[in-house]
A and B are shown apart, each in its own frame.
Chain A
Amino acid sequence: MSKSINIVTSTAVPLDIENVDTDQIIPARFLKATSREGFGKNLFRDWRYLNDDEQQPRREFVLNDPTYKGKILVAAKNFGCGSSREHAAWAIKDAGFDVVVSSFFADIFKNNALNNFLLPVQVSEDFLQKIFAAIEKDPAVELKVSIEDQTITISSTGEQSGFDINNYKKTCLLNGYDDIDYLLSIRNEIETFEATFTR
């Protein structure tokens, strides 16, 4: 699944809800699979369907609204709080998103996302509101996210914001390698550490 990402230019799906927790992103009853694939169809399951019935989509929920599509999910503050389930990141990625934008991410979610080449872009509350406003004005507006430059740009207005990502993670994303590759490469250093470690 490792694959590098650098620039993502796309329309965006606005999810203007705060404190979206991982139980909403992927309800626990869908955690019974033993592989990583196929979680996308249950993304936001209980917000998407009435009574868990695919024949009864909730029209008002943004993921059911054909006006909005794209590879970027824009969410309000404190996205991904709650459980450590990586299934949340898998579901978002599997549903076709490469980037999630919010003004605040829960820690574990952020790590899980990065480990799956799903980029969490944290912007100020102000800039987030600008994005929501731009999408509301024109759902076809594109956002451009560049990992190399660490910037996110609203194409219609040209407004731009930077975002943080540590150098190590940036290199991983740009080159498509992950933490496990790195840790495996230093396994003899780990063994040396163990030999001198007093328990």
Chain B
Amino acid sequence: MGKTLFEKIWDKHVVKQIDGGPSVLYIDKHFIHEVTSPQAFQGLEKRGLKVFRPQQIVATADHNVPTLQQHLPIRDELGRLQVQQLIANCKKHDVELYGLGHPFQGIVHVIGPELGITQPGMTIVCGDSHTSTHGAFGAIAFGIGTSEVEMVMATQCMLQSKPKLMRINIEGELNKGVVSKDIILFIISKISASGATGYFVEYAGSAIRSLSMEARMTICNMSIEMGARGGMIAPDETTFDYMKGRLFAPGAAQWDRKLAAWKELYSDADAVFDKEIQIDAAAIEPMITYGTNPGMGMGVTGHIPAESEIDEKEKPSFLKSLNYMGLKPGAEIKGKKVDYVFIGSCTNSRIEDLRMVASFVKGKKKADDVEVWVVPGSKQVEKQAIAEGIDKIFEEAGFQLRQPGCSACLGMNEDKIPAGKYCISTSNRNFEGRQGPNARTFLASPLTAAAAAITGEVADVREFL
């Protein structure tokens, strides 16, 4: 029997199998940031240990950094303390840090790929659930908790039980105005926010093959939002082209050997998955969420389910969620007024996302009563955007181009959406309070968000293309 892509990478990294228990899995790359690492360093020191393999760790400051005036000291005292702690810990343990002010600083899941640190065939972890992003390169990448961060710091290994495997095949061509964010929102709306719990997902099919690396990352990024441990896509020419010449990608001397190994990374024709799902790409519309988990999504022209369509058991949470959102069962969202537009987060803040938004808004102006924040994923994305004149397009449209960080994705810094306000956001979570206490979030693609910025309401981007 053949092996799946996941199994090929997993098997190679098993140091040891515990009887009736988990596997000891070797980790190639470990990313850390200021919020989930301090307690791990502290734990390590309590045990009197040094970091075991410091060269395999890369650190950045992203979760609570300000996105305006980054050259000034952080105003929030606790946030400042966390960032200082990260600097001190990295120094003490010889860990490479791309902190504030560094030309490589940015959201951890944006910088790993763009620097070529993320590579096919690797095992990658980070104390952040959206580590699944890196799976777009054909890597096993998943989020871990702080105790596990400490484990990997201490031993470069962690204990993991092999997950079940699911393959989602998306075949066919995408409709006009439909982008990769819509694919993943569509999938989650079909299988629910817990539909892939216990599974690792491989995305396959012609629609996936046609996507750029940036677009693939958006899909893998949100795997966690359906409960999956991670998501992955087999590497192909698109992947190899993207890798070539990146700063930390294999150089000329290594390239041919590496490439040959990467080309073996695919699920064999006779490999068996625990579950397979087929999706018709043509059935996907521009998507929007209406509730407080990413599974509560629909086509932008659709209606929120009526109360009668909801399972009796699910009704209380459904109504609670709509109540929080200030929406009614059965209603449309199209035409609903929005107050904020947030284009950013590790889901959609790469240069391609900014280009997509810029090409849509070029020569247009934002609606008067909407505030629009564009937060690039990294310093490099910011620099590229300026080099391409995208900053000017945004300025003319009345958008604010800020500095890199997680920003309003989780509202840990000052970028919070005020209570009761509606924000259309390209991020990945619409949980209660995620973007600020009582903030209301509609998740959508960068294109749909751009259309909302211009019209001031939830709009069907297809009407403008």
Q: A interface vs B, CB < 8 Å?
A: 16-19, 21, 23-24, 27-29, 31-36, 46, 51-52, 76-78, 81-87, 89, 104, 106-108, 111-112, 115-116, 166-169, 178-180, 182-184, 186-187, 189-190, 193-194, 197, 199
Q: Return 30 A-B CB contacts under 8 Å, by A number.
A: A19-B293, A23-B431, A23-B432, A28-B434, A29-B412, A32-B64, A33-B78, A34-B42, A46-B432, A46-B438, A76-B317, A78-B194, A78-B227, A81-B193, A83-B129, A83-B143, A84-B36, A84-B129, A86-B147, A104-B197, A107-B198, A107-B229, A108-B144, A108-B145, A111-B145, A112-B148, A180-B43, A182-B159, A183-B154, A197-B12
**What's the Cα separation between A29 and B43 when bound, in Å?**
23
Are B20 and A199 in contact, with the CB atoms below 8 A?
no
Q: Which residue from chain A places its CB closest to the CB of B226 in the assembled complex?
A: A81
List 13 other contacts, CB 8 Å, given A19-B293, A34-B38.
Answer: A28-B411, A32-B81, A32-B412, A46-B437, A46-B438, A78-B194, A107-B197, A115-B145, A168-B21, A179-B151, A180-B47, A190-B26, A193-B16
Question: B349 at interface (Cβ–Cβ under 8 A)?
Answer: no
A residues less than 8 Å from B54 (CB atoms): none
B residues less than 8 Å from A77 (CB atoms): 194
- Interface residue total, chain B, C-beta cutoff 8 A: 69
A residues less than 8 Å from B159 (CB atoms): 168, 179, 182-183
Q: Which residue from chain A places its CB closest to the CB of B21 in the assembled complex?
A: A168
Q: Contacts A34-B82, A111-B145, A115-B145 given: A78-B197 contact, CB under 8 Å?
A: yes
Q: Which of B21-50 contact A (CB under 8 A)?
A: 21-22, 24, 26, 28, 35-36, 38-39, 42-43, 47, 49
**What's the Cα separation between A108 and B36 when bound, in Å?**
14
Q: Contacts A83-B129, A178-B147 given: A35-B431 contact, CB under 8 Å?
A: no
**What's the Cα separation between A115 and B158 when bound, in Å?**
12
B residues less than 8 Å from A107 (CB atoms): 163, 197-198, 227, 229
Q: Contacts A23-B431, A111-B148 given: A190-B156 contact, CB under 8 Å?
A: yes
**What's the Cα separation between A148 and B259 when bound, in Å?**
50
Q: B interface vs A, CB < 8 Å?
A: 12, 15-16, 18-22, 24, 26, 28, 35-36, 38-39, 42-43, 47, 49, 52, 63-64, 76, 78-79, 81-82, 85, 127-129, 131, 143-148, 150-151, 154-159, 161, 163, 193-194, 197-198, 227, 229, 293, 314, 316-317, 320, 410-412, 429, 431-434, 437-438
A residues less than 8 Å from B410 (CB atoms): 23, 28, 83
Are B317 and A18 in contact, with the CB atoms below 8 A?
yes
Q: Contacts A32-B412, A81-B227 given: A166-B22 contact, CB under 8 Å?
A: yes
Are B431 and A85 in contact, with the CB atoms below 8 A?
no
Partner of A180, one of B18, B21, B63, B150: B150
Q: Contacts A84-B127, A180-B47 given: A31-B145 contact, CB under 8 Å?
A: no
Are A89 and B145 in contact, with the CB atoms below 8 A?
yes
**What's the Cα separation between A104 and B227 when bound, in Å?**
11
Partner of B293, one of A21, A89, A111, A180: A21
Partner of A106, one of B146, B197, B437: B197
Are A28 and B412 in contact, with the CB atoms below 8 A?
yes
A residues less than 8 Å from B147 (CB atoms): 86, 112, 115-116, 178-180
**What's the Cα separation between A199 and B12 when bound, in Å?**
10
Q: Contacts A23-B434, A184-B155 given: A17-B317 contact, CB under 8 Å?
A: yes
Are A86 and B194 in contact, with the CB atoms below 8 A?
no
**What's the Cα separation between A81 and B229 when bound, in Å?**
11
Are A183 and B157 in contact, with the CB atoms below 8 A?
yes
Give chain A nearest CB distance to B229 CB in angstroms. Answer: 6
Give chain A nearest CB distance to B83 CB in angstroms. Answer: 10
B residues less than 8 Å from A83 (CB atoms): 128-129, 143, 410, 429
Are A78 and B16 in contact, with the CB atoms below 8 A?
no
A residues less than 8 Å from B432 (CB atoms): 23-24, 46
Are A168 and B18 in contact, with the CB atoms below 8 A?
yes
**What's the Cα separation between A146 and B23 when bound, in Å?**
26
Closest 5 CB pairs of A and B: A168-B21, A32-B78, A86-B145, A112-B145, A115-B147
**What's the Cα separation between A85 and B143 when bound, in Å?**
9
Find the residue from B12, B26, B35, B42 having the highest chain A CB count within 10 A: B35
